[in-house]
Amino acid sequence: MHAASLTDSHGRTLRDLRVSVTDRCNFRCLYCLPETEAAANFYQSRFIKNGAQRIARQWHSAEKILTFEEIERIVRVAVNLGIEKIRLTGGEPLLRQQLEKLVEKIAKIDGVRDLALTTNGFFFAQKAKALRDAGLQRISFSMDSLDRENFKKITGRDSLQEVLDGIDTAQQLGFAPVKVNAVVIKGINDHEIEALAGFAQKKQISFRFIEFMPLDSGRAWQKDLVVRGSDILQRLQKAFRLQPVVSANKSETAKRWSFENSPGAEIGIIAPVSEPFCGHCNRLRLTADGKLRTCLFSVVEQDIRAVVRSNADDAAIANFLQDAVWKKEARHHIGEPGFVQPERTMSCIGG
C-alpha cells in the first residue's frame, strides 16, 4: 500500500506533526474554550436562537496523558517515516511541567529539521531561556488584540502585558522569525486588523491573521462571524505597501506579504474557511491523550496510545501510523450542509 513514508490515499505525503502536550489552558479564548461572562454574553446575544450549547469541560486525567517518553517514541517513529517538522501545542503547552525536557528529547532525534512551539505567551518569559537551551527553534504566540480591555474580553485574562513581554523576550533570545497569530472575528477584533499589522511592522514580526473555524467549545461558530481572508488583505493593502512573498513550500497554509522597507516584518493570511488548502495539507496531529487526528475536522481518531502501551515494537507503531495516515480525509466540509463539528474543540485537538 505505501513505502516507508506517511502517504495518504489522495497522494499527499505528510511532513508536519503537531503534538498537543496538554488539553489544559489558563486562558478562556472565546473562539476556543469560552467560559467567561464576556463570552457568555457574546454568545447568548447572538446565538441562543440557534441552540448553541457549550461542551462541558473536563480535563483529561493524568494517566490518560502521554508521557514524555511515549511522545518521544511516537515522534521518533514518525520522523523515520518522513516527518520533519514538529510543533508542540495544546491547550497551553507551557502548563506542562518541565516541557523543556520534552523539547530536549525531540531536538535530539535525527531528522527533526524544525522544532516549534505555539503558546498563549503567558508563561513564556519565565520559560524561554530553558526552552531555547533545550533546542526549541521557533515560537508562535497567539495575540488577538492590542487593546487591554479587548484582549481581556477575548481571552478571559487581563494579560496582554505578559504576552507582549513574552514576544520581546523571544526576540531578545534570537528566535527568528517570531510569529504571532490572531483569530479574526467579526464584531470582536476586526477593527484592530490594521493596528495588529502595524505592530508586526514596527516589531519586525511575522504576523498571521487566521479565519475563525468551527472548533469552539461554545459551538457558536457561524459563517457570518468569519472575516474572509480576502477582506483582511484588501484592508491591509489600503493601509500598507505590501509585496507578495513567493514560497516554494506548497503545503504552506499562509499566503504571505512583506512590507516595503521593513525587512523582517511580514503578514500572512490563513483562510481555511474561505480558501481551503486541504489539497496540499501535510499535517498529522497527536492529541495529549494519544489519539491521532488526520484532519482538524476529523470525526474519527486512531488510538495510538493503546498501541504504545501494549508493548508493541517500533515496526507495529510505524504500521499503525501508516494505516491511520492512509485514511486521511480528502478535505473538510465547513459551511456545507451536513457539516458535523468535531466533538473535540481546538484546545483538545492542538491547533
Summarize as ranges the residues that interact with ligand SF4 (CB under 6 A): 25, 27-29, 32-33, 90-92, 120, 142, 346-347
Shortest separation between residue 29's beta carbon and ligand SF4, angstroms: 3
Q: Which stretch binds ligand SAM (CB under 6 A): 25-33, 72-80, 100-108, 243-251?
A: 25-33
**Span from 34-42, 213-221, 316-324, 336-344 in contact with ligand SAM (CB under 6 A):** 213-221
| Residues sharing a CB contact under 8 Å with residue 342, sequence separation 6 or more, in sequence order | 215, 296, 297, 298, 299, 349
Q: Binding mask 29-48 vs ligand SAM (x if CB under 6 A, - otherwise)? A: --xx----------------
- Read off the amino acid at residue 162: E
Query: Whose CA is closest to 216, among 29, 60, 23, 350?
Result: 29
Q: Are 318 and 307 in contact (CB under 8 A)?
A: no
Determine how β-strand 283-286 pairs with β-strand 16-20: parallel
SS (H, E, C) 247-285: CCCCCCCEEEEEECCCCCCEEEEECCCCCCCHHHCCEEE
Region near ligand SAM per CB under 6 A, out of 10-18, 70-78, 115-123, 232-240: 115-123
Least gap, CB of 96 to ligand SF4 (angstroms): 12
Instruction: Name the residue among 78, 134, 140 with its Cα closest to residue 111.
Output: 78
Contact yes or no for 18/75 (Cβ under 8 A): no
154 or 292: CB nearest ligand SAM = 154
Residues within window 177-206 making contact with ligand SAM, judged by CB under 6 A: 181, 183
Which triple of cell numbers denotes residue 19?
503534538
Q: Among ligand SF4, ligand SAM, none, what does residue 212 contact (CB within 5–8 Å per kind)?
A: ligand SAM
Q: Where do contacts with ligand SAM occur on this chain (CB under 6 A)? A: 25, 31-32, 89-90, 92, 118-120, 142, 181, 183, 210, 212-213, 215-216, 346-347, 351
